[in-house]
Amino acid sequence: MPSKRGCFKMLLLLALSGALLVYFIGEVFFNLNSNLVAVSVRNSTQPLQILTKRGAWKPATGLTLADLDAALIKRHDETGLRWDTLKVRRDGDFRADMAQRVFGAEVHVVTLAPERFDFMTSFQPKFALTTARERMASENLWFSITANFRDPKGRPMGWVYHEGRQVNQPFGEWSGCFFVKDGRPWFGPKSLLNDVPGLIQEGSQVYPSVMKNHTIFSYVELKPDEFFDGTKISYRALGGMRKDGTIVFVLSGDGGVMNVSEVTEIARKLDVQHATLLDGGRALQYSIRTDDGPWHFHAFNTELPFTHKLLERQRSPVYIGARRKAPVILENTPP
Read off the pLDDT of residues 46-83 as tens digits, 9 standing for 90 and up: 999 999 999 999 999 999 999 999 999 999 999 999 99
Query: CA neighbours within 13 Å on the CB side: how many for 277?
Result: 27
Confidence label for 24 from pLDDT (cuts 50, 70 and 90): confident
Residue 227 has a pLDDT of 80
The mean pLDDT of 310-316, rounded to a whole number, is 95
pLDDT surpassing 90 at residue 275 = yes
Q: Is residue 248 part of a domain?
A: yes
DSSP code of 130?
B
Q: pLDDT value at position 206?
A: 97
Tell me, rounded to whole angstroms, the distance of Cα 194 from its chain centroid. Answer: 27
Predicted confidence (pLDDT) at residue 2 exceeds the cutoff of 70: no
Q: What is the pLDDT of residues 157-215, one digit of tens each?
A: 999 999 999 999 999 989 999 999 999 999 999 999 999 999 999 999 999 999 999 99
Please report whether residue 2 resides in a domain.
no
Asked whether residue 331 is domain-assigned, the answer is no
Report pLDDT digits (tens) over 84-136: 999 999 999 999 999 999 999 999 999 999 999 999 999 999 999 999 999 99
253 located within any domain: yes
What local confidence, expressed as pLDDT, does residue 330 receive?
Answer: 56
**What residues contact residue 334 under an 8 Å CB cut-off, 6+ apart?**
none
Neighbours of 2 (CB within 10 A): 9
Number of domains in the chain: 1
Residue 243: inside a domain: yes
pLDDT (average), residues 252-258 = 98
CA gap 209, 263 in Å, rounded = 12
Name the residue range of residue 212's domain: 31-324
Q: What mean pLDDT do residues 249-275 have?
A: 98
Q: Give domain status of residue 23, yes or no.
A: no
pLDDT above 90: residue 288: yes
Of the listed ranges 135-149, 226-240, 318-332, the one predicted with least confidence: 318-332
In a domain, 332, yes or no: no
Q: Is 5 within the bounds of a domain?
A: no
Question: What is the CA angle 50-56-61, rounded to 5?
Answer: 45
